[in-house]
Chains A and B, each alone.
Chain A
Amino acid sequence: MEADSKPKKSGARLCCVCNQNRAALKRPKTLEQICRECFYAVFEEEIHQVILENQLFKPGERIAIGASGGKDSTVLAYVLSELNRRHNYGLDLFLLSVDEGITGYRDDSLETVKRNELQYGLPLKIVSYKDLYGWTMDEIVKMIGLKNNCTFCGVFRRQALDRGAALLKVDKVATGHNADDIAETVLLNILRGDIARLSRCTSIITGEDGPIPRCKPFKYTYEKEIVMYAYFKKLDYFSTECIYSPNAYRGFAREFIKDLERIRPRAILDIIKSGEDFRISTTTKMPEQGTCERCGYISSQVTDAFTLPDTL
């Protein structure tokens, strides 16, 4: 059904769930009129169901939440600790933050994470590029400019998360990737011819054969709803883009998805469903994911996080 554009009627409109309170918002996912309390309930319950149906966690596990200070990871930390309490998941939750050493961006968002540590009562571990590798991103960019800076940052961050997770002795890392992110990635992989990634990008758990598995509890959660939740709950988060990222290809997919959502909200979930259903043969030739010869962590075929600093 296409989005209703009729003007708002005057007079009280009731929440369609409890039929008692006045509706405070329209759910972006379903366009239902709903009150705040029922929105919190349905938002949290859906995530709880995703966790159960996909068996994301086991009792007694130590889980690191990848925390950038942005809205996705803040809401994830809040909701996970709430659900952990409410439904007795029996998890030990930690906040894990990576400090790339980007002035004016990361130093600000880290302040947010430090506040989250106090607000949510979750122990925080910060791993920094400086400590791990001896370099900050600012220093790297000074050396190599803005051409391949993301190459280094991406490899380092992934390693940093793995190392931080190992230092915390956790069993899994949970990240705040949401439905919009995953739908964008599915489209991007089609546009760019990356069949290998296309087959993996909708998996809710990845890296099970590596050092630390990662999971995405927000796989079916709409970005707009995360924002709405953070807004109404007045959660503390930091929102800007990394200062080193120029306009990029993902922007095309993002614009398109925004337009799609306007005329058919469920299209975001439909893209994810398509991604899950694509008939990709397991015998299709796939590029292999490499591991570093020296420490066994994931590295790309080309770069090795040990030798990169040597090249700088």
Chain B
Amino acid sequence: MACNSSTCNSSGCYKGYVEEEQPKPNTKAAVNGGNSCQNLCVKCKVNEPVCCGIGGENSRFCKDCFKNNLYGKFKQAVTYNAMITPPDKVLVAFSGGPSSRVVLQFVHEMQYKAQKNYDANKDKSLPVFGVGVAFIDESSTHSFTSQHIEKAIEDIRLIVSNLAPPSKELFVVPIESIFSSDGIDGKERLKELLDAVSDVTGKEDLLSHLRILLLQKIASENGYTRIVLGSCTSRIACHVISATVKGQGYSLSADIQYVDSRWEIPVVLPLRDCPAQELNTLCSLDGSLKIVELLNGPCSGINGLVSSFVKVLQEENPSRECTIVRTAGKLTPFHFNRVPEIHDSNVPSATRRHQKRYTLKPNGSLSSDSFCPICNSPLKKSNFPSSLRSHGSQQNPDLFASACSSCQFQILPKDPSLMEEFLSLLPQQMITKAKHGDQGNFSLLREQIQEFLFSDGENEI
């Protein structure tokens, strides 16, 4: 059935169409005339190159040009998508790894430049955006020594305090704080919750959903308007494959855009175009970019398998991750994949015009009002009837019926009798979403008939 030839070009074969991927990096040195060119940075042609980008021999850079190349990609992502504007307060999620170290550094440098401009400017109309850092301490979910954790946190404090001026607030928050304090020990509850999930992949994914909820909580409680994640091309490529493998093809395009505004505090991914390999190289070149050893264990289950698969592909062709992300980038995003419109008059009108021009036009027919209460992924419209039907018909049907099929399979308990207990262990934010899910459907229906209704009071559901 399958064509097994790597050279096949027939139209019946997957290779039939002109391939849209980048060509394999040329291992021969660029023919530029003369040996001297092979020993110069490809960008400035002045300094000696010290490292290679993804393009192999064709992308040998000196340290400065290499860094500027990456910073350029970051800056373009921020500007093009209007990620950060003057009145914003930006919370950088910091895990200690190379990607989050680089994104923190770049955000800091951007802020530092803005501060200098502000100080030099007589007209102080444009404030400098604020930056905070959040580190989520997940030590309660695995067994590192407390010494190890404390040392890591100390290192992080040092890193953040050195990134001043402008100074940045650091939040070190244990993952169990996601549960609002109501007398129950957070650590115990977290352990019970994770133990209630039998699937290894489900456990890992549930933890990452809790992580994002906690970041939202920290940002919201402290007045932050944006959350910056250091997600790089490589991580996104892995997510594309793992979401496909988990049956989440519909919601995939929501997770991989530059901007994700379905949350209360929009989440932005300025390093989307930067491969992990280059970020790692930058950290090893630049001594000031100290990494804190990752405190979380390696992924297992599906996530681990996908990670090794992408690694194998990447070894075969270093531009594979980019191709994966580019392909997935052709999927239609959702209406929430852009920053909310800027109404602030403090923001220069040029920026507002720019944002209007480049943000996606919302496509009403494709918008979806319901989201999975566990992973917040947009649900296909066909899920409407099931949650409406089950509303109020059993004791706690809402959670199962309103969740996406992936969460139904890998996170929620198989045994319906265990559902109520599971519900009691989940953080409040997820429960609220489960209840709101139904009301979301009703409000969508109401919107469609609004013009024919007479008075609000009589027609409240």
Residues of chain A whose beta carbon lies under 8 Å from any beta carbon of chain B: 1-2, 70, 72, 146-155, 157-158, 175-178, 181, 184-198, 241-242, 244-252, 256, 259-260, 263-264, 266-267, 269-271, 273-281, 284, 287, 289-290, 298-303
CB–CB B366/A190 < 8 A: no
- Nearest CB of B to A81, in Å: 20
- Nearest CB of B to A257, in Å: 9
8 Å CB contact of B240 from A190, A259, A300: A190
Q: A197-B17, A245-B5 are in contact. List 11 more A-B contacts (CB 8 A).
A: A1-B414, A155-B12, A158-B11, A197-B14, A263-B301, A264-B201, A267-B246, A270-B246, A271-B245, A274-B243, A277-B250
Cβ–Cβ < 8 Å partners of B416 in chain A: none
CB–CB B2/A184 < 8 A: yes
Is B198 an interface residue, CB under 8 A from the partner? yes
What residue of chain B has the Cβ atom nearest to residue A197's Cβ? B14
- Nearest CB of A to B210, in Å: 21
What residue of chain B has the Cβ atom nearest to residue A301's Cβ? B11
**Chain B CB within 10 Å — which of A153, A154, A158, A260 has the most?**
A154
In the complex, A197→B20 CA distance in Å? Answer: 12
CB–CB B12/A154 < 8 A: yes
Select the stretch in B77-85, B99-107, B323-331 that faces chain A: B323-331
What residue of chain A has the Cβ atom nearest to residue B253's Cβ? A279
8 Å CB contact of A192 from B12, B21, B246, B331: B21
In the complex, A2→B323 CA distance in Å? Answer: 31
CB–CB A278/B14 < 8 A: no
- Nearest CB of B to A29, in Å: 14
Is B8 an interface residue, CB under 8 A from the partner? yes
Is B320 an interface residue, CB under 8 A from the partner? yes
In the complex, A150→B11 CA distance in Å? Answer: 10
CB–CB B330/A280 < 8 A: yes
CB–CB A252/B7 < 8 A: no
Residues of chain B whose beta carbon lies under 8 Å from any beta carbon of chain A: 1-21, 198-201, 240-241, 243-250, 252-253, 301-302, 305, 309, 312-313, 316, 320, 323-324, 326-328, 330-332, 366, 380, 405-406, 409, 414
CB–CB A302/B9 < 8 A: yes
CB–CB B323/A148 < 8 A: no
Cβ–Cβ < 8 Å partners of A252 in chain B: 309, 312-313, 316
CB–CB B1/A175 < 8 A: yes
In the complex, A303→B11 CA distance in Å? Answer: 9
CB–CB A150/B10 < 8 A: yes
What residue of chain A has the Cβ atom nearest to residue B17's Cβ? A287
- Nearest CB of A to B378, in Å: 10
**Chain B CB within 10 Å — which of A70, A151, A279, A298 has the most?**
A279
CB–CB B7/A191 < 8 A: no
CB–CB A154/B11 < 8 A: yes
Cβ–Cβ < 8 Å partners of A300 in chain B: 9-11, 16
CB–CB A246/B4 < 8 A: yes
Given contacts A187-B241, A289-B11, contact A154 B3 (CB under 8 A): yes
- Nearest CB of B to A201, in Å: 8
In the complex, A269→B247 CA distance in Å? Answer: 8
In the complex, A299→B16 CA distance in Å? Answer: 11
CB–CB B326/A187 < 8 A: no
**Chain B CB within 10 Å — which of A177, A178, A256, A280 has the most?**
A256
Given contacts A176-B1, A256-B305, contact A249 B19 (CB under 8 A): no
CB–CB A274/B247 < 8 A: yes
CB–CB A245/B10 < 8 A: no
CB–CB B327/A188 < 8 A: no
List 18 A-B pairs, Cβ < 8 Å: A70-B1, A154-B16, A155-B11, A176-B1, A181-B2, A184-B2, A187-B244, A191-B327, A193-B323, A197-B17, A269-B247, A270-B245, A274-B243, A274-B249, A275-B249, A278-B253, A279-B366, A280-B330
CB–CB B331/A278 < 8 A: yes
CB–CB A194/B17 < 8 A: yes
